Structure 1
C-alpha cells in the first residue's frame, strides 16, 4: 500500500519503493536464457516500461517440478518460492510445454498468484532473446493486473496511469495489522481486485467441478419428488428459505476454499499485502462462482417443479390449491438442498481440479 499519499519519492532516493521480481529458471537452456536477459537490458526495459518504483530482479536456478507436471503444479511450486524469498512477483522460465485448457501456449500469467510462466522451448530457434523480452514485458503487465485498456493508457501517459500507481503500491512496505490493513488493501486496490476477479471468470467455476455438479443434481432430483419437501417449502416462509439458501452457499464456498487449501497465510510483513489480495480475490471468485451455480440450479429446479410436480397431487399435499408462488418456493428449497449436495460432491474434487476451475490462466502477449 502507498503510505505517502501526498508525496512521491524521487527516483534513486532512499525512500523510493522497490519492486522485486524473482526470475526462476530451470537448469540448462532456461537458465542460460535468463542470465543473458538479466545481464543485458531486461531490468532497464521493465523499469522504463513500468515506472513508479525501482525494479530489482533476483535470479534463481531451480527445477520447480519434476516432469511430467501440469500447469497448476508449476504455478503452485513457483508461488511457494515467491513466498519463501519474499518477492513481489515471480517469473518462471520452464523447459516444459504449457497449456491453457487443452491449447498449447508460449506463456501465461496468473495475476491472483503473482506468477507468470514462460516455456522456453516454445520460443523457437531464432530471435529467442528478443521475443522472450517482449513476452516477459507483457507478462509483467498482466501480473500488475493490467487489461488492454490499462496498457493503452499506460503507453500514452506512463506518468499518470493506474499501472504506475500499482507499481508504486507494490513496492511500498505495509505494516498495518488486522482489519484496518485488510480494509486498506480492499479499498486501495479496488480496480485491481475487479480486474483479477474478472480475469478468473468465476461464472465458469461450476462447469469445472463435475463431482459437485453431479452431487447437486442428485440431491435436487431427490428433493423435488419428496412430499415432505413440498410441505417444508410451504411452511418455511421467505426468511427461513433465505437462511437455508445462504447456509448452502456458505457450505459449498467453505468446502471449496478449505478442501482445496486455497486460503494462504502471510509468512512475513513484505508478503502480507499479496496474500491479503490473493485471499480476498479467492473468496470473491468462489462466492460469485457459487452464486452462478445456485442461480442455474434455481432455474433448473423451477423448470423441474413445473414439469414433474402434478398440480392435483401438489395441492392435495398442501391442503390448498397450488399456485405459481408455491412452485417457486419448492424450487427455492430444492435448489438450496441441491447446493448442499454440491458441497458434498465438491469435497470429492481433487485440489488441482478446484484450482483449475477457480483460477483462469491467460496467455500473455508482448506489448
Structure 2
C-alpha cells in the first residue's frame, strides 16, 4: 500500500516529541533508566520518518483511587501543556478493561498510552517496559497488532513512516486547507480510531438516555395526534425530523460531556483536528445505532399496542404496514429527542467511557 506524501516540505527535519510522565517511586525510576539506556534508539529504529525526542516528567497526575478514564484525561492535559505529540504515562496503579486487569492501554484518539509498572512483573523489567512502550507508540500512531507486524518486516516502506513524518512536521497552513490536509492524509488512522472506539456500543453505556428515549417513545406511540402527524408528514418531513433528532442528541453528548477539544498551539492543532473529527464520527455512529435500535422497538411496539380499528378511525382509512412504519419512524425520532434530554443527565465519565473505550496493548 502506497500513500502519497502530502506533508509540506519546510526544509527542516521533522521532530516527534514523545512525552513520558511517570509517578514518583518505581515508575519514575524505570522511566529514567529507559531514557538513559536505548529506548530512544529502539523507537527511532522501529518508527523511522522523523527524529524522535523523549521528555520525562515526574508527576502524580491523579490521586488514588482513580479510574482508567481519569488517568487518560490527566495524561492528555499534560500532553497539551507540554506540547508533546504523544505521551506514555507510567503509573503504579492497576489498569482494567471491564473487569479484566491489563498491563497497558493505548488510546490513539487522545494520543495517550498508560502503562501499569507493577503489572510488568518483578524480573526483566527494563526490557519488558521498553518493548511495551514501543508497542504502545505503534498503537498511538494508529496501527493494530497485524499492521505492526507488517511494519516490522519493512519499516522504511510502511505507511507508518508517513504518519510519523506528518506528526513531526510543524505546518503553518490555516483554516480549511489545514483541516482538509490533515483529514485526507490520515484516512486510515481515522478509520482505525473509529473502529477501535466501537461506536455501536455507545448506546449501551448511556442508561439515562435510553430511559428518557423509552419514556418519550411510549408516550408518543399511544397518542392519536402522533398518528395523524406521521400520516400527513410524508417521507421528506420524517427524514428531516430524524436528522434533527440525531443532531440534537449528538450535540448534547459532545457539549454536555465537554468532548470538544480546543487548542491554540501549532504543534497540537493536528491532533485536535483528528480528535474532534473522531469524536463527531464516533458519537454520530453510536447515536445512529441507538436510533436503529429504537426504530426496531418502536415498530414492534406499534404493531403490538396500536389497535388497527382505533388506528383506522383516527386516520380515516384502513391502516397498512406503511402507516405503522411511519408511526414507528416518527415515534423513534421523538424518542431520540427524549434520549437527548436523558443524555444531558449522564455524567461526563459515563459518556467518555462509552464513547472512548480504552483497549489493552496488543503487544503485552
TM-score normalised by length of structure 2: 0.97
After superposition, give the CA deviation of every residue in 1:117-152 in whole Å (9 maximum; x if it has no partner).
001111111111111111111111100000133212
Aligned to 1:114: 111
The answer as to 2:193 corresponding to 1:196 is: yes
Aligned to 1:296: 293
Aligned to 1:87: 84
Query: Alignment partner for residue 321 of structure 1, among 311, 318, 323?
Result: 318
The answer as to 2:42 corresponding to 1:49 is: no
After superposition, give the CA deviation of every residue in 1:195-249 in whole Å (9 maximum; x if it has no partner).
0000000000000111011111111111111111101100111111111101100
- Secondary structure of the residue aligned to 2:147 is helix
Cα distance in 2 for partners of 1:26, 1:238 equals 58
Aligned to 2:347: 350
Aligned to 1:216: 213
Count of equivalent residues: 362
Aligned to 2:237: 240
Aligned to 2:304: 307
After superposition, give the CA deviation of every residue in 1:228-271 in whole Å (9 maximum; x if it has no partner).
11011001111111111011000000000000000011231110
Within 5 Å, which residues of 2 pair with 1:1-367?
A: 5=6, 15-366=12-363
After superposition, give the CA deviation of every residue in 1:250-301 in whole Å (9 maximum; x if it has no partner).
0000000000000011231110000000000000000000001001110111
After superposition, give the CA deviation of every residue in 1:172-209 in whole Å (9 maximum; x if it has no partner).
11221111211111111111100000000000000011
Given that 2:6 and 2:181 are in contact with CA atoms closer than 8 Å, whether structure 1 keeps it comes out as: no
CA RMSD of aligned residues (A): 1.6
Question: How far off is 1:6 after superposition?
Answer: 8.7
Question: How far off is 1:115 after superposition?
Answer: 0.2
Question: How far off is 1:308 after superposition?
Answer: 1.0
After superposition, give the CA deviation of every residue in 1:78-108 in whole Å (9 maximum; x if it has no partner).
0001001000000000111111122111101
Which 5+ residue runs of structure 2 have no aligned equivalent? none
Cα distance in 2 for partners of 1:5, 1:182 equals 13
Q: Which runs of 4+ in 1 moved over 4 A?
A: 2-9
